Structure 1
Amino acid sequence: MTTASRVPQPYQGGGGANLADILERVLDKGIIIAGDIRINLLDIELVTIKLRLIVASVDKAKEMGIDWWEDDPSLSSGARRKELARENAELRRRLDELEEPRTQGGTG
């Protein structure tokens, strides 16, 4: 007569969730890891480092209101074009200010 064993089976590569399934779940739901590191010397705080890590899909991040990469010129071509257009407009304004005394002063 045999009885069912309640001892967990060792991990076998063929069964269970694979890495792609786990990654899909994490990206779908999102995961946040947060922590602070503080270095004190004689009750005097010398350094504080705040670490925040969010792992999520782009769609999930946008749902959470996180979209900073869209405005970062080093990460977004659209943001880069906006930054260049803004810089170009500023340079044109400054050039117009520099040329303005010449056109108003005449030959006088």
Structure 2
Amino acid sequence: MTTASKLPDAFGDSAGANLADILERVLDKGIVIAGDIRINLLDIELLTIKLRLIVASVDKAKEMGIDWWEDDPALSSGARRRELAEENERLQRRITELESVARPSGDGRESA
């Protein structure tokens, strides 16, 4: 005799909705997991590792003042453009400085 096995409600049709609700709540409110790892030898601290994990939506992170991805050239094309513009400006200033040193001193010939 065989009976149809039924999964508990936690794994049934409503599990997807429950997981979505939990995920939405976590992203909306945010969650922080923090921990420190310290390695000591004879009361001498050799290594300290501080771990911080924040799980939140982008909107919530910005609301908390966390927006490092906007200034990271590896993650933001706008940040990369700003970085390139700043580098270009520095190089142009350096070229101007070098040209002003190498310009003629008034006798019509360039100085070496």
- TM-score of the aligned structures, taking structure 1 as reference length: 0.82
Deviation at 1:18, TM superposition (A): 3.0
Other-structure match for 2:11: 13
Other-structure match for 2:67: 67
Other-structure match for 2:81: 81
Indicate whether 1:45 and 2:37 are aligned: no
Deviation at 1:56, TM superposition (A): 0.2
* Greater mean alpha carbon deviation, residues 96-105 or residues 15-24: 15-24
- TM-score of the aligned structures, taking structure 2 as reference length: 0.80
1:52 partner letter? R
Other-structure match for 1:92: 92
Counterparts of 1:91 and 1:12 in 2: how far apart (Å)?
A: 62
Counterparts of 1:104 and 1:26 in 2: how far apart (Å)?
A: 68
Other-structure match for 1:25: 25
Counterparts of 1:63 and 1:91 in 2: how far apart (Å)?
A: 37
Counterparts of 1:44 and 1:68 in 2: how far apart (Å)?
A: 34
2:46 partner letter? L
Deviation string, structure 1 residues 49-93 (Cα, Å, up to 9, x no partner): 000000000000011011111111111111110000000000010
2:29 partner letter? K
- Note closer, same or farther for the CA distance 1:11–1:35 as it changes in structure 2 (3 Å cut): farther
Identity %: 77
1:79 partner letter? A
Other-structure match for 1:7: none
Counterparts of 1:69 and 1:38 in 2: how far apart (Å)?
A: 28
Can you give the 5+ residue segments of structure 2 that lack an aligned partner in the other structure? Answer: 1-7
Counterparts of 1:26 and 1:19 in 2: how far apart (Å)?
A: 10
